[in-house]
Each structure stands twice: as C-alpha cells, then as structure tokens.
Amino acid sequence: MVTRRGKKITGGRYKKRRKKKSYEMKPKPRPVLLGKEKKKKIRTMGGRIKTVLLSIDKANLIDSKTQKAKVVKIKNVVEVPSNKFLARRNILMKGAIIDTEAGKARITNRPGQEGCIQAVLID
C-alpha cells in the first residue's frame, strides 16, 4: 500500500500542533546583484550583527601564481554553474565565474552571508 504524505489511512488529515516559530522559518533569499555597493546589517541569534551584501561591483582578487591580492572591478557575470538564469540576471554567488579587469575569476565565498566578494583568478 502506498502511503499518502500528511494523511491518515482513512484519508483524514493530520492537524498541526502549532505554527512555526520565527527562528524555525527559512530566511528570505537575498540575491547579491552586480551594481553600486549596498550593505545591510542584520541581527542574528544571540544578538550578533551580520553584515550582508545586497549589491557590489568590486571583488578581492587573489592571483594563485603570485599569491598577491588586489581589489578589482567586476564587469559581468559570465556563468553560474548551479543555474544559468542567475548569470543572465547578474547575480553573484559562490562558484560564479565573473569577468573582471584582471581577467576571469571564480567567487570562493558566500557574498550574501559575508559582506564582501573573494575571488580566485582562473588561468
């Protein structure tokens, strides 16, 4: 017999005991867009403050050969491996390949969680 999710054998529904608490709910998605720099401060659990990005146009680029870091301007989002539609909308996320002044680079951090973009130059 195939069980039906959320239903009893008789076909009746199970009632929820309570609603979800605010800390049990999923956070709203905050896509980081390519554009003028905008940041926002959010209160997290325990009263800590997290700085999140809303949009940015610069990245901290590390050249893997010379181990030197510099701040470069982002021109365009070339590819996002997880979803091709995100690249069309110029959304920056971890793993995205971006076109910078120094060449193509891959984002290595989570910009929506941190407040800056770290990238590594691709050969």
Q: How confident is the model at residue 1 (pLDDT cuts 50, 70, 90)?
A: low
Tens-digit pLDDT profile for residues 88-123: 999 999 999 999 999 999 999 999 888 999 999 997
> Rounded distance, CA 52 to CA 59, Å?
15
Query: Which class does domain 27-121 fall in?
Result: alpha beta
Tens-digit pLDDT profile for residues 76-88: 999 999 999 999 9
The torsion of the CA quartet 49, 54, 60, 64, rounded to 10 degrees, works out to 100
Tens-digit pLDDT profile for residues 16-73: 889 999 889 988 888 999 999 999 999 988 999 999 999 999 999 999 888 899 999 9
List the domain boundaries for the chain.
27-121
pTM as predicted: 0.79
Handedness of CA 73, 79, 80, 86 (dihedral sign): positive
